[in-house]
Amino acid sequence: MALNILGVINHWDPYPFILLNLLFSTQAAYAAPIIMMSQNRQSDRDRTQALADYQTNVEAKQEIEALAK
């Protein structure tokens, strides 16, 4: 972008930078689904970990109640 702005003789992409905007839009279009899939996988892992933590807490509570009796 700096070379395009500083290029005194030949500006291949005039000021609104349409070509650069197209490039960033394309990158966002293919990156967004990949990021969303990654977040969904992390959410599944977090849910599994929370369930395992809950089961551990339930078992610990039962052991404490048994010891209290």
CA distances from 58 to 39, 64, 65 (A): 28, 10, 11
Query: Which tens digit of pLDDT belongs to each residue from 22-65?
Result: 999 999 999 999 998 888 888 989 999 999 999 999 999 999 99
Report the chain's mean pLDDT, rounded to a whole number: 88
pLDDT score for 26: 94
